[in-house]
Amino acid sequence: MTNMGLGGEFALIGMAESDVGIVPDKSPRELCVQVTLDAVHDAGLTLKDVDGLITCNAFAEPIMYHAEAVAEYLGWQPRHCVTVNTGGGTTFMALNMAAAAIAAGMADTIVVSMADSLRSFMTRDQAMVVQSSSGHPHYEQPYGPTVPAYYALIARAHMDRYGTTEAQFAAGAVSCRAWAAQHPKAQKRDPISLDDVLNSRAIADPLKVLDCSLVSDGGAAVVITRKDRAKDGPHKPITLLGYGEGHAYEHISQAKDLTTSAAVQSGRAAYAASGLTPDDMDLLQLYDCFTPALLIQIEDLGFCEKGEGGDWLASGITLPGGSKPLNTHGGMLSYCHPGNPGAMFGLTEAITQMRGDAGERQLSDIKTTLCHAQGGIMSSHASLILGVES
């Protein structure tokens, strides 16, 4: 577990998203270049004002030196340039690395930029190779499971221990879709019911297709700098108040308990660093790759007791109008999920809400947001708490 205080010293001053869903006219690198430029422009800067770039490699277009390739495409030579890969948790771990690099004097202002095109630039066979190669080569891969099967194990363990029902998992998907219905860019906007989820195509018992995240193209980027350098930008800065990580294992066969995760450690560290608690969070942006992962994160991050996540979700507390809005863009279950960059869109949505620019889905008086992501099969977790001044 790591705990970087951040102490309100760093701020997000720019952000951008590409089109999402099916974007066949741009490669992953082109999407990454686009959102890098757009985020810098959104911050009121030019590339000359930015001296750091952190990216994440793309499954659909792997490049040996990814960050350098993006910078090369732009004709840009940033002082700090690095590619990070910690799976789905890369977004917030990269932000922490960016803050550390700035604190160490390696750069003053850094763009964190990620994109992939799982929908348009990967064949089904290529996608299946990725899905089936994540398991342990000796203890998991020989038995043929893909990623949904691993999350199905997690779901079944929670059901067996706590009596959680398939309908309670499905409530998370219904909530995310209700928010996506208010977002004009969301990949899936048609409202769904619990019955729709429960009657959708079976994927890996007990998970149905609507329990599983989308397959998407898309990219997003943010600009981070010291807060004292952020005062003159076009937007009010979003402050990084607290951060924490937790790393439990690489392969799920080595998990000590399938019903909990290292989100306990990452969340505890982020709360301690910020001086805040779960009750202080106005908005939750959590990693909803599969509905059981979402439910377990809700418990492990302290929003209810262990085993009560199903009732908490089923209560409607996360729906539009509820007291704990969750994934107000629609999450990876309904907005988009282009692989490792998926959590970037939870971050850009948090910034959009905290700026007051969310349109129909805008929440009132949002001062704090908890963003959380995880990589692997609930393996590595990163929690980030954001704040904004009135």
Q: Which residue has the tokens 């757009």?
A: 38
**Strands 80-83 and 52-55, bridge-based pairing:** parallel
Rounded-to-10 torsion of CA 382, 264, 314, 192: 20
335 given a catalytic annotation: yes
Looking at residue 253, the DSSP 8-state letter turns out to be G
Structure tokens at 76: 């840009």
Catalytic one of 151, 162, 243, 287: 287
Strands (E), 248-337: 283-285
The residues, any chain, with a CB within 8 Å of residue 123's CB and separated by 6 or more, are: none
CB–CB of 60/121 below 8 Å?
A: yes
Catalytic one of 151, 162, 271, 335: 335
SS in 3 state form for 146-214? CHHHHHHHHHHHHHHHHCCCHHHHHHHHHHHHHHHCCCCCCCCCCCCCHHHHHCCCEEECCEEHHHECC
CB–CB of 180/334 below 8 Å?
A: yes
73 given a catalytic annotation: no
- Half-sphere exposure in the Cβ direction for 174 (13 Å, CA): 20
Rounded-to-10 torsion of CA 245, 307, 324, 346: 40
Active site residues: 287, 335
